[in-house]
Amino acid sequence: MPTHQKLRTRIPVTLLVGFLGAGKTTLLRRLLSDPQGVRFGVLINDFGAVDIDSELVVESSSDTVSLSNGCVCCSLSTDLVDAMRRLLDSQPTPEHIIIEASGISRPLPLLEALEVEALEQRIILDGVFCLVDGAAFDQLDFESTELALEQATGADLVIVTKSDLATPEQLRATEDTLRYALPRMRMIRASGGDLPRDILFAKADHLSDSIRASTLNERHRVCSHADDDQRNEHRHDHEHDHGHTDRFESWHWQTTQRIDEDKLRLAIKRLPPGLLRVKGIFHTPGRPDGRLILQLVGKRSELTYELSDAPKRSAAVAIGVKGSFDPDVLEEVLSSCVIDERAL
């Protein structure tokens, strides 16, 4: 058996934070009511405060609730690390874990707790999302506002919720306050927990599926190279979904040529600031027994090595608000990392 097959796959973890009433539970309920084939594990501060539809619940104990859609909820009334280990040891094992923090929780202590040695080889942080109530943020008192801003500081991406209930003036004031305090923060609007899952979750193993069938409006470029003359072929495909995802678009790129790792690390810094999510798998000559995985969510990006079969193609998917990024810039940035095999 190849060595990489003996390694335990780390479970991605998504953390939802935000002040009381920001809409975390609404978003969580929407995800659990339609898991789309994903077996979620869910950690919540107080299950009694989460109004999950009764038909979802199969059985419950003092701190664990089994759901009919295959999800398992575990209360955070006990230590977070113990709850995580208990959830990871459950059968069947969750494919993705969502943590809903309480409305008065600060994300940084939670993140520090997840970095303990007992968990570091079993989980990987996929994203930290802070929900901010666009209809009520301007009504918070000073202390609550400071807490809400601290929660946003520890997040990768801010989701301004209840945009359908807020006035344009409220939304503008909320976003201006956030941008003033956190100029590097990226934020998007949502209503009723209605948000593309490709922004919330990024699973590299499903990247090729995302390229073949995206649910977003997309700009799609595929680069292939002939053996003899290295000719480029470009194809642009567009799919349209007339739901809420009209607000977003994605861009896809792939190549059969290998990627220069050093150039790629520099290229990541040149990616347009309007991107909300980027995920990629790259084949590099220095990693013949594995692949490089790129994950960008909001303001945070990381490039990690994964022991696995080297991919036949390098590929990336970028997602952002419609009109917030230039596809030609993305093309130039990633194509600059392609190795010219003729020069070797």
For residues 254 and 325, membership in a common domain is answered with: yes
- CATH number, domain with residue 178: 3.40.50.300
Distance CA 339, CA 284 (A): 9
For residues 164 and 138, membership in a common domain is answered with: yes
For residues 64 and 162, membership in a common domain is answered with: yes
- CATH number, domain with residue 326: 3.30.1220.10
Residue 254 — φ and ψ, nearest 5°? -155, 160
Distance CA 24, CA 178 (A): 18
Distance CA 36, CA 38 (A): 6
Residue 227 has a pLDDT of 39
Q: Which amino acid is at 332?
A: E
Domain end point (choices 145, 175, 195): 195
Residue 134 has a pLDDT of 92
The overall longest dimension of the chain from CA atoms, in Å, is 68
Q: Are 110 and 45 in contact (CB under 8 A)?
A: no
For residues 321 and 278, membership in a common domain is answered with: yes
Distance CA 199, CA 134 (A): 19
Other beta carbons less than 10 A from residue 237's beta carbon: 13
Residue 230 has a pLDDT of 38
Residue 129 has a pLDDT of 94
For residues 141 and 210, membership in a common domain is answered with: no
Distance CA 150, CA 152 (A): 5
96-100 vs 57-60, strand pairing mode:
unpaired
**Omega within 30 of 0 (cis) for the link into 92:** yes
For residues 77 and 210, membership in a common domain is answered with: no
For residues 121 and 250, membership in a common domain is answered with: no
For residues 142 and 106, membership in a common domain is answered with: yes
Q: Which residues span the domain enclosing 96?
A: 3-195
The DSSP bridge partners found for residue 233 are: 224
For residues 208 and 303, membership in a common domain is answered with: yes
Residue 53 has a pLDDT of 63
Q: What is the pLDDT along the chain (344 residues), one digit of tens a residue?
A: 343 333 457 899 999 999 888 888 888 888 888 888 888 888 887 655 555 665 666 666 666 667 776 677 777 766 788 888 888 888 888 899 999 888 888 888 888 888 888 888 889 888 999 999 999 998 888 989 999 999 999 899 999 999 888 899 999 999 999 999 998 888 999 887 677 788 888 654 455 454 444 434 444 444 444 333 333 333 333 333 334 446 778 888 989 999 999 999 999 999 988 888 888 889 888 777 778 889 888 888 888 887 777 778 889 988 888 888 899 999 999 999 999 877 65
Tell me how many domains the chain contains.
Answer: 2
For residues 150 and 73, membership in a common domain is answered with: yes
Domain end point (choices 195, 215, 239): 195
Torsion, Cα of 151, 156, 161, 163 (10° steps): 130
For residues 232 and 188, membership in a common domain is answered with: no
Domain end point (choices 195, 213, 243): 195
Residue 62 has a pLDDT of 61
For residues 290 and 148, membership in a common domain is answered with: no
Q: Could you write out the three-class secondary structure of the chain?
A: CCHHHHCCCCEEEEEEEECCCCCHHHHHHHHHHCCCCCCEEEEECCHHHCCCCHHHEEEECCCEEEECCCCEEEECCCCHHHHHHHHHCCCCCCCEEEEECCCCCCHHHHHHHHCCHHHHCCEEEEEEEEEEECCCHHHCCHHHHHHHHHHHHCCCEEEEECCCCCCHHHHHHHHHHHHHHCCCCCEEECCCCCCCHHHHCCCHHHHHHHHHCCCCEEEECCEEECCCCCCEECCCCCCCCCCHHHHEEEEEEEECCCECHHHHHHHHCCCCCCEEEEEEEECCCCCCCEEEEEEEECCEEEEEEEECCCCCCEEEEEEEECCCCCHHHHHHHHHCCECCHHHC
